[in-house]
Amino acid sequence: MVNIKEVIEFYLPYICVAGEYAINIQSRVSSWPPKIAYNSNIFSEALTDADLSIQNLFELITLARFRDVSLFGEEIDNSLNNKYVPRDAEVQIILDPLNGTKMYRDMSGEFDISFAVLQDDCIVGGVIYIPSKRVCYLATGDGAYWTTAERIEEGAPWFKYQIKKKLNTVLTYRASDEDMMRLKGYSNDIIEIDKQYDSNKQNNAVHDVLTGKICACFRRNGFVGDWGVVGFVVKKAGGVFMDYYGDEINSVRGLIGLRLPSMIIAADHTIANQIRKVINAVK
């Protein structure tokens, strides 16, 4: 039987090392050729040496340490080690080596390193590390926590975490014009990151539901290893992680490419249900 907390504790020192590496090379990082996809945009095209190096680090330590854990990174098409990953492992790690690569590459906004822990096709753990702040938000089945790089290095216990502070800002990604218009009735502070991204300023990130800079975010077609991780941690911290039908998100069984068709991540149920009503009205 795999202990999920022990699995997460194993990865934490490495996620701090990866964060330091990313910060140290950030001003010199070079981009690989853009990702090519039918729905390509400025965010999906961003790919750097840092993404691939961090993914490679996590692949190496997973293959070296665990027989019953497999790891799949978001940049799986460029993986050197995917062919060695066991397909029937009891536990899976789904990694986004740099969530917010575009902002990372532009030296703007916030990025994080995140991963989900899956068992029997359900999310049972999640970690979000923000290198610029050296702060880590994480969750297991028994709740959400936070810690720092210094405490991870010392092997100190995690602190329990509950969402408290929240502003009335809603973050969206690739929302329709109709979505945006209706959301204005809920809040005057709506940020559509695909359209309002500005490389010359500090931009908000999805993990800001946890920092209190935004109260909610929503999108379609989100990756389990980044937005899904934030949703899981937010849920365990007293918030909400649900789809556009109002159903709690937990299982990833049957998902194509580990992409969640729809998701609402919010600091509380009132906010989540208000946003869901708006979304349902534009179906």
Q: Are residues 75 and 206 in the same domain?
A: no
> Within the chain, which residues score under 50 in pLDDT?
36-46, 283
Asked if residue 165 is part of any domain, the answer here is no
CATH code (residue 177):
3.40.190.80
What pLDDT score was predicted for residue 44?
Answer: 44
Q: Are residues 50 and 144 in the same domain?
A: yes
Asked if residue 23 is part of any domain, the answer here is yes
Q: How far apart are CA 178 and CA 281, in angstroms?
A: 10
Using the 3D structure, point to which of 160, 190, 221 is the last residue of a domain: 160
- The predicted model scores a pTM of 0.90
Position 128: which residue type?
I
C-alpha distances out from residue 223 to 145, 163, 184, Å: 22, 23, 26
What pLDDT score was predicted for residue 137?
Answer: 98
C-alpha distances out from residue 210 to 26, 142, 163, 164, Å: 24, 17, 6, 9
Using the 3D structure, point to which of 135, 160, 185 is the last residue of a domain: 160
Instruction: Please name every residue paired with 93 in a beta bridge, in sequence order, or none if there are none.
Output: 71, 117
Q: Are residues 137 and 92 in the same domain?
A: yes
Q: Are residues 156 and 117 in the same domain?
A: yes
223: nearest Cα among 144, 115, 124: 115
CB 49 within 8 A of CB 101: no
CB 145 within 8 A of CB 161: yes
Q: How far apart are CA 243 and CA 134, in angstroms?
A: 31
Using the 3D structure, point to which of 108, 135, 160 is the last residue of a domain: 160
Q: Are residues 206 and 128 in the same domain?
A: no
CATH code (residue 28):
3.30.540.10
Read off the pLDDT of residues 98-154 as tens digits, 9 standing for 90 and up.
998 888 888 866 899 999 999 999 999 999 999 999 999 999 999 999 999 999 999
* Domain range enclosing 187: 170-281
Asked if residue 216 is part of any domain, the answer here is yes
DSSP 13-72: HHHHHHHHHHHHHGGG--BPSPP--TT--TTTT--BHHHHHHHHHHHHHHHHH-SSEEEE
Q: Are residues 76 and 207 in the same domain?
A: no
Q: What is the gyration radius of the CA atoms in the chain, in angstroms?
A: 18
Count of structural domains within the chain = 2
Asked if residue 235 is part of any domain, the answer here is yes
How is residue 280 annotated by DSSP? H
